[in-house]
C-alpha cells in the first residue's frame, strides 16, 4: 500500500508538472535578405533548432526581406531591445567603428580560406566592440566573392565614370568615388526595383545576390573580380542573452555552430550555382580584363591604406595576424 501510495503521489506530481505551461518567449529575428537567400534559409533553420532545442521556451521567428526592419536599422533594433536577435552586415556600420569594415578591404582576402583566416584574426576585436554596444555575437557566415555588375560592357575604370552605382557600406561608396561612379545607397530588398527603374546601373555583390534578385532582367554583365567576402552576423541583445538559462544558452550556442557550418557550406556551393544562374538568365559572366584588374588593384591598395589609418593599431593587428597565418 505504501509503495502504491508513493507511486500515485509521484504520478500526480508528474502530471501536474506536465500540465503546467512553460513560460515561452518569442524572439523576432529581422533579416535583410529575401527568404530564398541562403543566409535567410540558414537563419530559419537556426530558429527552428533553437525552438526545438529549448522545448519551445525560446521560439525564434525569422522575418526576411527587411520586412520587420530595414537592413540599416536591424543592428540598432537589437542594441536597443526592440528585438532580441537579428542578422546584419556589419560593414554597413563602419562609420561607428572602422573595425566593422575589416571584411570589406579590397583584395586582402579573396577566397573562402583567406576569408576564414581573416575572420579568425578579427573575431576577438569585433566581439569586444559588439560587447561594448550591448551585443553578443552568435555566428557569422560569409558571402561568396564579390564581383562587379553592369548594365553595359566595361573593360576599364575609365568606362565606369558617371555610372550610378549601388552602395551599401563605406567600402562600396569609396570604391564608387575612386572609379568615378556615382554612389546611390540602396537596401538589398530594393535592388530589383532600383535597377528596373534606372536608379542604379551597377553594383558590387556576390553572384548570390544577383541570382536571388533576378538582376538579369535589368543588367547584362557580371565581372569576376573576387574583391572581398563580407559576412553576415547574427547577434543577440546582451541583456536578453544574460536573461536566458544556462541550458538555453547552450542550446543556442550549439545551434549557432551548426548554422555557421551550414551557412558557410551553402556559400561555397552557391557560388558556382548562382553564377551559372546568371548565365542562364542571359548575363555575360566572365573575369575582368587585365586592365581592369590592374586598375582595381591600385584602388584596393589606396582603400587598404585608408582603412588601416582609420582602424589604427587594432586594424593593423588584424591584418598582421591574418598575414602571419598565410
Q: What is the pLDDT of residues 271-283, one digit of tens each?
A: 999 999 999 999 9
Give residue for cell 530558429. Answer: 47
Residue 42 in 3-state DSSP? helix
Supply the pTM of this predicted model. 0.88
**Taking a C-beta distance cutoff of 8 angstroms, is the pair 104, 169 a contact?**
yes
| Domain ranges (residues) in the chain | 24-325
pLDDT of 294: 96
Separation of alpha carbons 255 and 243, rounded Å: 18
What is the fold of 24-325?
Answer: D-Maltodextrin-Binding Protein; domain 2 (3.40.190)
List the single range of 14-18, 67-71, 117-121, 190-194 with lowest mean pLDDT: 14-18
Q: Which three cell numbers stand for residue 4?
A: 502504491
For the segment 257-268, the average pLDDT, to the nearest whole number, is 98
Q: Which three cell numbers stand for residue 87?
A: 542578422
List CB contacts of 182: < 8 A, sequence separation 6 or more: 162, 163, 164, 165, 176
Given a cut of 50, whether residue 153 has pLDDT beyond it is yes
For the segment 72-94, the average pLDDT, to the nearest whole number, is 97
**Taking a C-beta distance cutoff of 8 angstroms, is the pair 136, 241 a contact?**
yes
pLDDT of 23: 66
Question: pLDDT digit string (tens) for 201-223?
Answer: 999 999 999 999 999 999 999 99
> Do strands 202-205 and 147-150 pair parallel, antiparallel, or not at all (unpaired)?
antiparallel
DSSP at 326: -
Question: pLDDT digit string (tens) for 164-183?
Answer: 999 999 999 999 999 999 99
Q: Which three cell numbers stand for residue 280?
A: 542562364
Question: pLDDT digit string (tens) for 7-37?
Answer: 333 333 333 333 334 568 999 999 999 999 9
Q: Which of 319, 10, 300, 275 is nearest to 144 (CA)?
A: 275
Across the chain, mean pLDDT equals 92
- Taking the alpha carbons of 74, 78, 80, 83 in that order, is the dihedral positive or negative? positive
Angle at 100 between CA 144 and CA 235, to 5 degrees: 80
Torsion of CA 92, 93, 95, 101, to 10 degrees: -70
pLDDT of 326: 85
List CB contacts of 263: < 8 A, sequence separation 6 or more: 38, 39, 42, 139, 141
pLDDT of 22: 52
Amino acid at each position: 500500500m505504501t509503495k502504491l501510495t508513493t507511486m500515485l503521489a509521484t504520478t500526480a506530481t508528474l502530471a501536474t508538472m506536465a500540465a503546467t505551461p512553460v513560460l515561452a518567449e518569442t524572439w523576432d529575428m529581422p533579416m535583410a535578405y529575401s527568404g530564398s537567400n541562403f543566409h535567410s534559409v540558414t537563419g530559419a533553420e537556426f530558429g527552428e533548432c533553437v525552438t526545438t532545442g529549448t522545448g519551445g521556451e525560446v521560439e525564434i521567428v525569422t522575418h526576411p526581406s527587411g520586412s520587420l526592419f530595414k537592413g540599416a536599422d536591424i543592428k540598432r533594433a537589437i542594441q536597443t531591445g526592440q528585438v532580441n536577435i537579428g542578422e546584419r552586415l556589419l560593414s554597413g556600420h563602419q562609420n561607428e567603428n572602422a573595425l566593422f569594415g575589416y571584411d570589406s578591404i579590397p583584395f586582402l582576402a579573396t577566397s573562402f580560406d583567406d576569408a576564414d583566416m581573416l575572420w579568425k584574426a578579427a573575431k576577438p576585436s569585433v566581439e569586444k566592440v559588439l560587447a561594448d554596444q550591448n551585443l553578443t555575437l552568435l555566428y557569422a557566415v560569409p558571402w561568396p566573392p564579390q564581383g562587379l555588375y553592369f548594365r553595359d560592357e566595361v573593360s576599364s575604370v575609365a568606362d565606369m565614370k558617371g555610372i550610378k552605382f549601388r552602395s551599401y557600406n563605406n567600402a562600396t561608396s569609396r570604391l564608387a568615388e575612386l572609379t568615378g561612379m556615382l554612389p546611390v545607397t540602396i537596401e538589398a530588398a530594393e535592388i530589383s526595383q532600383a535597377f528596373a527603374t534606372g536608379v542604379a546601373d551597377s553594383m558590387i555583390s556576390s553572384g548570390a545576390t544577383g541570382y536571388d534578385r533576378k538582376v538579369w532582367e535589368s543588367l547584362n554583365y557580371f565581372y569576376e573580380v573576387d574583391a572581398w567576402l563580407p559576412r553576415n552576423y547574427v547577434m543577440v541583445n546582451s541583456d536578453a542573452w544574460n536573461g536566458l538559462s544556462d541550458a538555453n544558452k547552450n542550446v543556442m550556442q550549439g545551434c549557432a555552430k551548426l548554422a555557421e557550418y551550414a551557412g558557410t557550406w551553402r556559400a561555397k556551393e552557391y557560388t558556382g550555382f548562382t553564377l551559372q544562374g546568371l548565365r542562364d538568365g542571359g548575363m555575360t559572366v566572365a573575369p575582368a580584363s587585365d586592365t581592369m584588374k590592374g586598375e582595381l588593384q591600385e584602388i584596393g591598395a589606396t582603400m587598404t591604406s585608408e582603412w588601416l589609418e582609420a582602424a589604427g593599431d587594432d586594424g593593423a593587428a588584424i591584418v598582421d595576424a591574418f598575414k602571419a597565418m598565410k
